[in-house]
Chain A
Amino acid sequence: MIALDSRPRLAAKARIRFDRKTARYLLLYPERGLVLNPTAADVAKLCTGEHTVHAIVERLVEKYAPQPRDGVERDVMSFLATLTERGLMQADP
C-alpha cells in the first residue's frame, strides 16, 4: 500500500528507458514493457526511493501549473497503485 509519505522506487526487475524512435519512455521488465505517456514518465522518473509521494506530487503540480493539486495527487496515487499491483513498484516506509 503506497501512502503519501511512502518513498516509491522501481522494482529491481524494472528499468526506465527512452526510445529515440518513438520519443517515448518505456518501463521495461522481463519480456515486456509499458510505453508511458509523458506524465507517467514524469512520475516513474521521480520514483527513485528518495522522494516521498507527497514530494513527487508537489514537483508535478509545479511543473504542470495551474493544474489543481487534488487531481494530480489522485492520478499519481492511482498510477503508483497500478504499478505496485503489477510488481513494478515498491515503496519504502
Chain B
Amino acid sequence: MTWEAPAFVEVKMDAFDRPDRF
C-alpha cells in the first residue's frame, strides 16, 4: 500500500455499516 497524507473533505449531512478494522 502507498502512504498518502491523511486528508478529508467536509460535507453537510443534509438532503452505514456500524466494519476491515485493524
Which of A's residues lie within 8 Å of B, judged by CB? 17-20, 25-28, 31-40, 42-43, 45-46, 59-60, 63-64, 67, 71-72, 75-76, 78-79
User: By the criterion CB–CB under 8 Å, are B21 and A40 in contact?
Assistant: no
User: By the criterion CB–CB under 8 Å, are A31 and B14 in contact?
Assistant: yes
Name B's interface SS: loop
Q: List 15 A-B contacts (CB under 8 A).
A: A17-B17, A17-B18, A26-B11, A31-B12, A31-B13, A32-B10, A35-B9, A35-B10, A38-B4, A39-B5, A40-B7, A42-B22, A43-B6, A67-B2, A79-B5
Count B-side interface residues using an 8 Å CB cutoff. Answer: 20
User: By the criterion CB–CB under 8 Å, are B12 and A32 in contact?
Assistant: yes
